[in-house]
Structure formats: structure tokens, C-alpha cells
Amino acid sequence: MTAEAQLAAARPILADARHVAVFTGAGISADAGMSTYRGTGGLWEGEHVEKVAYPEGFAADPAGVWTWYNRLRRKVAECTPAAGHVALAEWERKLTTAGGSLTICTQNIDGLHALAGSTRLFELHGSLLRARCCACSYHADIGCEPMSPLPPPCPECGDILRLDVVWFTESLQDDVLQGAAHAVAACDTFLS
């Protein structure tokens, strides 16, 4: 069942919801054409995860990691938000207009929720569409365009940039985790 069909099926049950928190993962983006990470045809299939999704892999080969993620970013550029992304953004607008709220807490790093129009969004694992410096506090939106040279230099300090994603063994960002936890604690309806 698609994410859109799941939302449609839930509408009668959720008619009285005022403050909604939604937890999403790779399934909603699969409907948009993004591969999931595991299983047949998944992004990790045939890939040494420790080389592209661990800080140690980045330290050993930053250009190789950027090359892998640039391929993923090009895939994002080919996608449009799925009907489920659009339905959640529309539901957020309706609830906000009526004095309620809808907050999305997502594991996805593809930016498709924001592209669909969702504004109350916590990207738990970061975003492919942002970069940050390995040495200073520089952060920037980078979109889906390939970066060059690889790894790209920080325009503020000259060190190298990395994608603003959370790799294995790294902690989630405190402000994002706290915001998501607050949204879940304050909701009257939780969807996962």
C-alpha cells in the first residue's frame, strides 16, 4: 500500500486530530523513486557501508565519499515528491490554518518533504542538500548540483566540507532530536 493510500485510509480515524506528529522513513521516498538502503536493489547493495557511511570512511577517502553521495544527490534531483509527501504537506497547511499542527520527524536525508512544502520538519539524519565544514561552524544549502573539486573546500576556513548527514557511530544533532521529541510529546496523534 502506498503512503498516500495509507493516509487516505487513516483520514476517518484522524478527523479529530489537532496536533499530529509523523515519523517517516525510506518507504515514503520509495514512492518517489528513491531506492531504499537495504535489500535487493538497495543503495547499500554491493557497497561497503563502512567506506561511505562512517566518519572513518570519510577520513580515509573524502573524495570517494563525496562521489558516492553526489550520485545519490543526482538521483534526488530526478525525483519529485511522492503523493504521500504532498498529502502530508497539505495536511500540515490545513491543520495550521485550523490552529493545529503537523510535525514530520524523518530519517530521510533526501529533502523531499521540504520540497513538497512541509515546514515543520525534523530531519533526524540530516540532509544531502546541505554541507558543513569539518573544522569550523560553516553550514550551507547546496542543493543537488555536483560539487567540485572533491572534497569541496570550506569558503570560510579552507578546510574540507562534508555532507550534513549523520553517519553510523555519530550522534543525532541535539536540537533536532529535542525538537522531534517535543513534537511527539505534544501531539495528540502519532503516525509511523
Q: What residues are annotated to the active site?
A: 125
CB count in 10 Å sphere of residue 158: 10
Antiparallel, parallel or unpaired: β 19-24 and 189-191: parallel
Is residue 144 within 8 A of residue 73, CB to CB? The reply is: yes
User: String of b and e for 164-183 (b: at least 16 CB within 10 Å)?
Assistant: bbbbeeeeebeebeebbeeb
Query: 3-class DSSP state for residue 151?
Result: coil
Rounded Cα distance, 74 and 80, in Å: 12
